[in-house]
Every structure is written in structure tokens, then in C-alpha cells.
Chains A and B, each alone.
Chain A
Amino acid sequence: MVGLVIVSHSAKLAEGVAEIAAQMAGRELKLVAAGGLQNGGVGTDAVRISNAIAQADSGDGVVILADLGSAILSAQTALEFLEEPARERVRIADAPIVEGAVSAAIQATIGSPLGEVADAAEQARTLRKL
């Protein structure tokens, strides 16, 4: 099953997004929050993200949902710390973090492959609320 990593500048926001997405997901889904800095501060840490990817990957790959700015740069940097086969199994979704995480969690839970889970996250961009 494809795993998910939630990257945010805030540890609380990353955990909160993971909490909401987990409500829609099966128990087997690996959903790892990678928010904030080690000292508890606001920011993103590529080493922490890289560890989260390793934790979320059960062999089927990982989709990353990120908030803004350096979250994307740090996620891209995190990929460089992975070995080659694992790196190819990671997709950074160009998606809103909450809606994208929920859509991806549902798609991953039904056992879809990496590409479909990432697409589900990105389709959340066009989701109308009103």
C-alpha cells in the first residue's frame, strides 16, 4: 500500500492533517507527519522528511503532501538522501495539503498504485467547496 507523508512548517499542522486524513483511511495506511523542526520551532527539516519517507514506504511508494514555500524545497532535498530505488517511488503532490491528504488517503486505502494516489491528491486542487 502506498504511504503518505505530511510536510508542514508546523508540527501541529502536520499532525492535524494526518489526523483528519486517518479518519478516512484504513488502519493499514502508513501516514507519517513530518512537521516543524527538531527543537520544536516552525520550519521544515529535510532530514526529518527523509526519515518519514523511509517509515511510510512499504515498497509501494510514498506520496508527499506539503504546505508552502520551503516545505517543497525541503521535500525535494529529502529525496536526495534516499537510495535510488526508494527515491523513484516518491511523488510530491502539487495539491492543497488538507484536501489532497484526504483524497490520497482514500485512494491509497483502496490499494491504488502510486500514480493514482498522487493523481487523486492533485485532483483535489479543483474540488469546489461551495
Chain B
Amino acid sequence: MDKSFLGAMEAITGTIHENKEFLTDLDRAIGDADHGHNMARGFHAVMEKLRASPPADLSTGLKTTAMTLISTVGGASGPLYGTAFLRCAKVMQGKDSIDKTDAVQLLGESLDGIESRGKAQPGDKTMIDALKPAYDTFAAASEQNRTFLECLEEACKAAEEGVNYTKTIAARKGRASYLGERSIGHQDPGATSVMLILKALTEYYKSL
């Protein structure tokens, strides 16, 4: 098993841990004040499992991540991120490293999985509003033969713009939709965690 998978998961867990209160505060404003704590509980459980029994390959590691998130996060982000990681596990079957083309597929499948699980559309003020621009931008940059790092950095920028866009719109999905227009002005916690994860992966890639 490639150590870099564990390293990448550690990077994600680290950023979620550091931003636990920030994400929960964002969720307190427009939701049920649990996103940061739920995500931190989930990713710490993932790391415990991965460290206790290191997975045989990338696909198995991603599947363990998915199943652990699904059963420990507790909120909507559990099945949503879980579904994304399950799709990633499928993409990585039989592969032991991720190239640019794989990354396009990973982002695309994650997006598709989250869209079909949550039935959210762009503009609903959800994770999709960060993930879709990140995927579109990564795929376009990859088409233009940019380096892996450039693709990642542009995807992060697009995700950040997506997060900022969520401040301007009313929620149409999840608990925040009960607030309707009153959710305008607040950035979406789910979109924010998507951006944080992408940034952590990019920083990790730079450190390799």
C-alpha cells in the first residue's frame, strides 16, 4: 500500500480538525451546528481504521474511508462524502497511483455521486457549488495540458469562488432551506468543506 494515500488522508483529516469549529459555526448560522464536529468525528474514525489495518491497495483504502464516513459522520455529509469516496474506490480499482486523467475521473465521479445521492443542483447552496466548478476547471486545465499542480491550484481557486457564490444565494436543500432567503449572506458549510479538502490535497501534493 502506497504511503501517499495515508498521507493524503492525514492531510484531509488535519484540515478538517483545524477547521472543526469554523465549519460548525458556519453551520450554526444556517443549519444544525454539527458539520465540523461530524466531519472531524468521521475522518478521525477513518484514520483510526486505516492505521489499525493498512489497506492492501488504493481502492480498498478508499472503500474503507467511504464506509467509515457513512457510519460515523451522522449528518447528511456522511452519505454524501461516503458516496463520493465509494465512487472513487471504483475508479481506482486495479490502479496504484493517480494521474491527471484519473483525477478528472475522480472529481467527475464524486460530483456525479453527490448529485445523484443528494439530488442537488448548482445554485442550491450545497457542496455542488464548490465541487462542480472545481471539476469543470480541473478538466478544462487538464485538456489544455497544464501540469497536475496547476490543475489542482485552478480547481481550488474555482472552489473558493464557488464558496463565495454560496454567500449570495438562498439555500434550497437541507436544513438551511428552512431559512430560505434568510440564508443569504452566509457561506455554505458543505461547499466550504469541499474547498478545504481540495486545498489540503493540493498542499499535500506540493509537499511530495
Q: How many residues of B contact A (CB 8 A)?
A: 22
Q: Are B72 and A70 in contact (CB under 8 A)?
A: no
Q: Could you show 17 A-B contacts with beta carbons less than 8 Å apart? A: A38-B71, A38-B72, A41-B41, A44-B75, A45-B72, A45-B74, A45-B78, A46-B71, A47-B71, A48-B71, A69-B76, A70-B74, A70-B78, A73-B117, A73-B118, A74-B78, A77-B117
Dominant SS at the B interface? helix
Q: Are A46 and B72 in contact (CB under 8 A)?
A: no
A73 to B70, CA, bound (A): 10
Give chain B residues whose Cβ lies under 8 Å from the Cβ of A39. Answer: 72
Question: Assuming A43-B38, A47-B67, is B80 touching A73 (CB within 8 A)?
Answer: yes
Task: Tell me how far the C-beta of A79 lies from the nearest C-beta in chain B, rounded to whole angstroms.
Answer: 11
> Which residue numbers of B lie inside 8 Å of A, CB to CB?
32, 34, 38, 41, 67, 70-80, 82-83, 117-118, 174-175
* Residue A109 is within 8 A (CB to CB) of chain B in the complex: no
> Which residue numbers of A lie inside 8 Å of B, CB to CB?
9, 37-39, 41-48, 69-70, 73-74, 76-77
Select one of B73, B80, B174 contacting A43, CB under 8 A.
B73
Question: Assuming A69-B75, A69-B174, A73-B79, is B70 touching A46 (CB within 8 A)?
Answer: yes
Task: Tell me how far the C-beta of B31 lies from the nearest C-beta in chain A, rounded to whole angstroms.
Answer: 9
Top 5 closest A-B pairs, CB basis? A43-B74, A70-B76, A77-B79, A47-B71, A73-B79
